[in-house]
Amino acid sequence: MPPGSRTTRTRLHSARGRSTASQRWLSRQLNDPYVKAAKAAGWRSRAAFKLIELDDRFGLITPGCRVLDLGAAPGGWSQVVLRRGGPAARVVAVDLLEMEPLPGATLLRGDFEEEAVEQALRAALEGPADLVLSDMAPNTTGHAATDHLRIMALAERALDLALKVLKPGGAFVAKLFQGGAEREMLARLRRHFAAVRHAKPPASRKESAETYVVATGFRP
């Protein structure tokens, strides 16, 4: 849990006194202890705590590690890798969105699925990766089955890339929506990694369907 606890709750209402979806989102942000703690610690996102919690549990970030961060904006996970991996850590991060410069990281803008972007990522890595992270999420449609399929497709393609760039013994982390990994993806993960586990870090909102798959001990 982040330091500090909330003592007051902020409530927002529309002119007609009824909360709108965006006001509910804002109210939740204002009352979220992780949002406050992220701001206090200088993390660019509350999502930083999810990687901190996954790393505390699975020991993913090692000194001087080389990491590919897929769907990295605004850069919270990349910051965590750089702080925990020490001065020799190297991060290559990609996102569809522009990111503020982050000392120690190479930031690329684009769709990681495009051939040219993949080539640029692999060139920037300058060698095999210890860890491939995917916190990517497609824009949700609100239709649970469609959202599940879309996030699974993104995770599958992140895994395709991870299998090409990881070094033996490396690790892969990807965001999924509940329903877990499809049988086919799980089978692929088990074929290529010594251990495959599902984790929902405490910083992941309970009401959110998101969960993470953590695969360690890559065997090509």
Residues that bind ligand SAM (CB under 6 A): 44-45, 47-48, 71-77, 94-97, 111-113, 135-137
**Shortest Å distance, C-beta 220 to ligand SAM:** 24
Task: Please state, in angstroms and as integers, the Cα–Cα distance from residue 113 to each residue in 67, 73, 110, following that order.
Answer: 18, 16, 9
Nearer to ligand SAM, 78 or 216 (CB): 78
**Shortest Å distance, C-beta 17 to ligand SAM:** 32
**Shortest Å distance, C-beta 74 to ligand SAM:** 5
Nearer to ligand SAM, 137 or 163 (CB): 137
Catalytic, out of 39, 164, 167, 175: 175
Query: What are all long-range contacts of 177-185, with beta carbons under 8 Å and residues at least 24 apart?
Result: 177/144, 177/147, 177/148, 177/151, 177/152, 177/209, 177/210, 177/211, 178/209, 178/210, 178/211, 179/148, 179/209, 180/211, 180/213, 181/152, 181/155, 181/213, 182/152, 185/152, 185/155, 185/156, 185/159
**Shortest Å distance, C-beta 80 to ligand SAM:** 8
- 175 flagged as catalytic: yes
Nearer to ligand SAM, 19 or 163 (CB): 163
What distance lies between CA 83 and its chain's CA centroid? 16
Nearer to ligand SAM, 19 or 41 (CB): 41
Q: Which helix H or strand E contains 170, and what residues bound it?
A: strand 166-177
Contacts of 164 (CB under 8 A, 6+ apart): 122
Catalytic residues: 175
